[in-house]
Amino acid sequence: MLDIGLPGIDGWTVLERLKNNSDLRHIPVHIMSAADSSLDAMRMGAIGFLTKPVTIEKVEKTFCKIENIITHPVRKLLVVEDDSIQCQSIKELIGNGDVETTMVATDLLAYEALTTQNYDCMILDLGLEDMSGFELLEKIRNNEACSKIPVIVYTGRDLTLEEEKKLRKYTESIIIKGVKSPERLLEESALFLHRVEADLPREKQTLLKMVHDKEAVLSEKTVLLVDDDMRNVFALSSVLEEKQMTVLIARNGMEGVKKANEHKEIDIVLMDIMMPKMDGYEAIQEIRKTKKKLPIIALTAKAMKGDRNKCIEAGANDYLAKPVDPDRLISMLRVWLYS
């Protein structure tokens, strides 16, 4: 049970370090906080989230959930995929006796399975014949019994910006991750299934070690940092350059749009929202006119409830509140720069 508001290092950093440690990441972590950041916690691999003040009833329900996870060493995975060859390859990839994998070929069968049995995680292909994966996600979101199941979107095709935005509609109640490689799929499923990495077959451990070589993901990548506060620019540049990243700096939204269009080598953008001349929302929209796939992370000092949705609507891929926690920033960069 982990509180977020801790002295020294906060609970987010503790959770981050636990989930990045291959010897510890399988340990179930349940978060408690006065602020509702349940989505962030679930994305990072927490099994649940309690919002303070906490009642006795909520605590009892939480411990029932924890007990259920601890006393059931075999995890249940639901794979929704209509390609039999792909199904078999996923089953072989996940493998091992600590995961019981159920395969279904249609969204209707998937929804029936989710509402009649308890699953720890679901892997979903979006392009099914009976209904789109988006429709299934909508139905899951509206059903309290299965609305919190972690969902990994596994698709061979590139998602359009509109499809990514559409997926984001469901992230208030489900975790959605676009996965493009078998190694990443194994890593994400191991996180949400709380698997003990040391118990996996040697070849699976080797695959996970490839994913965990995280420094290589950032090294020699180029980031565009758009911020009018030079103190913030200096602080973030120092963190990024430590990871062998090249940092391009723009001091306002207009300059940010210009540099994004001029420098083809840019791999990701960090965009401050509150700036003169052109704010971050407008700058993101302008960049999106020519750069549909460029990952953009919005930074804002005002962590208001609607900010995240406004950033996503403008075209940002993700969102971080200021003051930016360096560990969370680096973790987010790794997610968006992994290919």
**Tens of pLDDT, residues 161-201:** 777 777 776 755 555 666 667 878 888 888 888 888 888 88
Question: Which residues, 6 or more positions from 279, have their beta carbon under 8 angstroms from its beta carbon?
Answer: 253, 273
- Measured CA to CA, the distance from residue 38 to residue 35 in angstroms comes to 9
Exposed / middle / buried, residue 314 (Cβ in 10 Å: 0-12, 13-18, 19+): buried
Binning pLDDT at 50, 70 and 90, where does residue 302 land?
Answer: low
pTM (predicted TM-score): 0.66
Express each pLDDT in 21-30 by its tens digit: 878 888 889 9
Beta bridge mates, 50: 32
Q: What is the mean pLDDT of residues 30-50?
A: 80
Domains of the chain: 2-70 (3.40.50.2300), 75-211 (3.40.50.2300), 215-337 (3.40.50.2300)
- Measured CA to CA, the distance from residue 332 to residue 268 in angstroms comes to 11
pLDDT surpasses 60 at 319: yes
Express each pLDDT in 237-253 by its tens digit: 999 998 889 999 999 99
Beta bridge mates, 31: 2, 49
pLDDT surpasses 80 at 323: yes
Residue pair 155/125 in contact (Cβ under 8 Å)? The answer is yes
- Measured CA to CA, the distance from residue 103 to residue 87 in angstroms comes to 7
Binning pLDDT at 50, 70 and 90, where does residue 268 land?
Answer: very high
Q: Provide the pLDDT for residue 241.
A: 92
